[in-house]
Structure 1
Amino acid sequence: MTAPSFKRILLKLSGEVLMGSGQFGIDPATCDRVATEVKEAVETGLEVCMVVGGGNIFRGLAGAAQGFDRASADYMGMLATVMNALAMQNAMEKIGVQTRVQSAIPMASVCEPYVRRRAERHMEKGRVVIFAAGTGLPFFTTDTTAALRAAEMNCDALFKGTSVDGIYDADPKKVPTAKRYDSLSYDRVLADNLKVMDASAVALCRDNNIPIVVFNIRDEGNLSAVLRGEGASTIVQNETIDA
C-alpha cells in the first residue's frame, strides 16, 4: 500500500457485515479478514478508530417494533455493539494490532470508559480504538455515533463500509439501472433523502467538514484499495460537483 491521503480516519461498520454469509451472529472469519485490512492501513502510519453497529445481534428499532420499549430496546442494541467491538478487538490483537475498546456505557470489567483525550493518545501511539455502546443514550443510531466520534477525534474522513460500492439514486439490488455517484454534496444527500446515513449524521459531518467515503467492505481488499484511491466508492463532501 502507498501512504494514504488521510492521517486519521474513523471506520464505521454495520453489525451485519460481521455476520459474513450467515443470517445472524458473529462470523470469526469475517472479523479476521476485516482485522487484516485494518492492520494494513495502520502499517502505513494511518491512525484508525472504529464504530461497529449491533444489527447482527439486536437492533433497537426492530425491537421496538416487536413491542419493546424504545429506550430499553436501544440500550439492548448498545450492548450488542460492545460484543461486536470485543470480537473485533480479539481478531486484531491476534495479528498484533494493539487495540482498545472504549464504551459510552461504563463496564470496567471488559473495556475502558469513553474518554476523548485518552482515545486520542491511544491513536497517536498506533493503537486502534473501537468506540462501543453508541453515544450511551437511546434514540441515536451508530451512524450518528460515528459522525460524533469522528468530529471529536478530529478525523480527516469517515469511511462507511457497507454491502454496496457507493451511493446510488435507487436501491441497486432492486433497480438494475440505478446510477452510482462518484461524488456528492452533503446537501444533495439530505435533499434527495439518499439512505446512506441518518440525516443527523450527514449534517454533523457537513458542519464539521468531514468527508464521508462509502464503499463495499464485503469485497476483500477493498478498504486498502479505497485508501489508495483505487477502489470503487462515493465521497460526500462540501462544494463538490455531483457526478
Structure 2
Amino acid sequence: MTAPRFQRILLKLSGEVLMGQGQFGIDPATCDRVAAEVKEATETGLEVCMVVGGGNIFRGLAGAAQGFDRASADYMGMLATVMNALAMQNALEKVGVQTRVQSAIPMASVCEPYVRRRAERHMEKGRVVIFAAGTGLPFFTTDTTAALRAAEMNCDALFKGTSVDGVYDADPKKVASATRYDTLSYDRVLADNLKVMDASAVALCRDNHIPIVVFNIREGGNLAAVLRGEGTSTIVQTQA
C-alpha cells in the first residue's frame, strides 16, 4: 500500500455495515475485516479517527415512528453507538492497533469522556480514536457527528463507508440505469437533496473545506484502494 494522500481522516461507518450478512446486531467477522483495513491504513502513518452509527441495534428516527418520544429514542440510538464502538475497539486491539473510545455521554466505567485536546493527543501518538454517543444531544445524526468531529480534529477528509460505491443520481439498487458521480460539489448535493449525508453534515463539511469520500466499505480492500486514489468512490468537495 502506497502512502495515502491524506495525513488525518475520519472514517464514518453506518451501524448496518457491522451487521455483515445478518439482519441486525454485530457480526464479529465484519468487525475483524474492517479492523484489518484500518490497521493497514495506520501502518502508512495515516492518523485515523472513527464514528460508527447505531442503526444495526436501534435507530432513533425509527423508534420515534413507532411511538417512542423522539428525544428518548435518540438517546437509545446513542447508546447503541457505544456498543458498536466497543466492538470495533475490540477488533482493532486484537490486531495490535491501540485505540481509545470517547463518548459524548460520560460513562467512566466503559470509556473516556469526549475531550477534543485529549483525542488529538491520542491521534498524534498513533492511536485510533472512536467517537461514540453521537453529539450527546438528541435530534442530531451520526452523520452530523462525523462532520463535527472531523472539523474538530482538523481532518483532511471524511470517508463515509456505505454499502454502495459512491453517490448516484438514483437508487442503484432499484434503478439499473442509475449513474454514479465521480465528483460533486457540496452545493449540488444540497440543492438536489442527494442522499450523501444529512444536510447539516454536508454544510458543516462545506464550511470547513472537508472533502467527503463516499465508497463501499463492504468490499474487502476498498478502503486501502480509495486511500491510494484507485478505488471507486464519489468525492464531494468545492468545485471551481
Q: TM-score, normalised by structure 2?
A: 0.99
Residues 83-120 of structure 1 deviation map (CA, whole Å, 9 limit, x = unaligned): 00000000000010000000000000010000000000
Deviation of 1:5 after TM superposition, in Å, equals 0.6
Listed as ranges, the matches of 1:215-226 within 5 Å are 215-226=215-226
Deviation of 1:235 after TM superposition, in Å, equals 0.2
The CA distance in 1 between the partners of 2:177 and 2:170, in whole Å, is 9
The CA distance in 1 between the partners of 2:77 and 2:207, in whole Å, is 27
Deviation of 1:171 after TM superposition, in Å, equals 0.2
The CA distance in 2 between the partners of 1:225 and 1:124, in whole Å, is 24
3-state SS of 1:129 partner: strand
The CA distance in 2 between the partners of 1:195 and 1:48, in whole Å, is 25
Deviation of 1:218 after TM superposition, in Å, equals 0.2
Residues 106-156 of structure 1 deviation map (CA, whole Å, 9 limit, x = unaligned): 000010000000000000000000000000000000000000000000000
For structure 2, the residue ranges without an aligned partner over 5 or more in a row are none
The CA distance in 2 between the partners of 1:56 and 1:73, in whole Å, is 14
3-state SS of 1:61 partner: helix
3-state SS of 1:76 partner: helix
> Following TM superposition, where does structure 1 have runs of at least 4 consecutive aligned residues deviating by more than 4 angstroms?
none
Deviation of 1:10 after TM superposition, in Å, equals 0.1
The CA distance in 2 between the partners of 1:157 and 1:229, in whole Å, is 13
The CA distance in 1 between the partners of 2:95 and 2:41, in whole Å, is 13
Deviation of 1:181 after TM superposition, in Å, equals 0.3
The CA distance in 2 between the partners of 1:21 and 1:81, in whole Å, is 19
3-state SS of 1:215 partner: strand
Deviation of 1:72 after TM superposition, in Å, equals 0.1
* Matched residue count: 239
The CA distance in 1 between the partners of 2:164 and 2:214, in whole Å, is 8
3-state SS of 2:102 partner: strand
The CA distance in 1 between the partners of 2:227 and 2:8, in whole Å, is 12
Identity of aligned residues (%): 92
3-state SS of 2:45 partner: coil
3-state SS of 1:174 partner: coil
3-state SS of 1:87 partner: helix
The CA distance in 2 between the partners of 1:173 and 1:20, in whole Å, is 18
Deviation of 1:230 after TM superposition, in Å, equals 0.6
